[in-house]
Amino acid sequence: MPVTSRIEEVRSEIAELTQAAPTTKDLMQGVCRLLHERMLKYNWVGFYMLEPGARPPVLVLGAFVGAMTPHTRIPLNQGICGAAASSGKTVVVDDVSKDPRYLACSLETKSEIVVPIFVKANVVGELDIDSHFPAAFGAEDQELVTYCAKLVGSRLEKSE
For residue 137, give the 3-state DSSP assignment.
coil
* Domain extent listing, the chain: 3-158
| Lowest mean per-residue pLDDT among 34-43, 75-84, 147-156 | 75-84
CA distances to 65, 101, 103 from 150, rounded to whole Å, are 19, 25, 25
User: CA 4, 8, 13, 19 torsion: positive or negative?
Assistant: positive
pLDDT tens sequence across 101-121: 887 777 789 999 999 999 999
Confidence tier at 3 by pLDDT (50, 70, 90): low
CB 126 within 8 A of CB 149: yes
Just give the CATH number of 3-158: 3.30.450.40
Q: What is the mean pLDDT of the chain?
A: 93
